[in-house]
């Protein structure tokens, strides 16, 4: 699990079936002080995060499928929660 900050969203007109009706966000890993410390990635947002929010991201397909309730989905990263404060 990684701490990250939401820096944008992704708009896509064509998605794989497992990604239909899913909100995609661009997140960048941060340290405990909010300083960026990694490369940006795309994560599925299951918790209605917005740009500027700090979130917990899971980068593991099995956990992502469990959170999203889709055992056959092609997921790599999912926002698992929103952080209230650092």
Confidence of residue 45 (pLDDT cuts 50, 70, 90): very high
- Average of per-residue pLDDT across 44-52: 92
**Average pLDDT for the chain:** 89
| pTM for the model | 0.86
Q: What CATH number is attached to the domain comprising 18?
A: 2.40.50.220
CA atoms lying within 13 Å on the CB side of residue 15: 16
- CA gap 3, 32 in Å, rounded: 8
Structure tokens of 84?
Answer: 């209230």
- CA gap 57, 43 in Å, rounded: 7
State the pLDDT at residue 7. Answer: 97
* Domain interval for residue 49: 2-83
Give the total number of structural domains in the chain.
1
CB 57 within 8 A of CB 42: no
């Amino acid at each position: 699990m990684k701490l990250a900050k939401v820096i944008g969203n992704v708009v896509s007109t064509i998605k794989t079936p497992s990604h239909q009706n899913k909100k995609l966000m661009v997140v960048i890993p941060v340290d405990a002080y909010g300083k960026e410390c990694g490369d940006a990635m795309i994560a599925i947002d299951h918790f209605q995060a917005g740009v500027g929010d700090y979130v917990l991201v899971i980068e593991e397909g099995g956990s992502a499928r469990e959170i999203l309730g889709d055992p056959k989905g092609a997921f790599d990263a999912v926002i698992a929660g929103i952080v209230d404060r650092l």
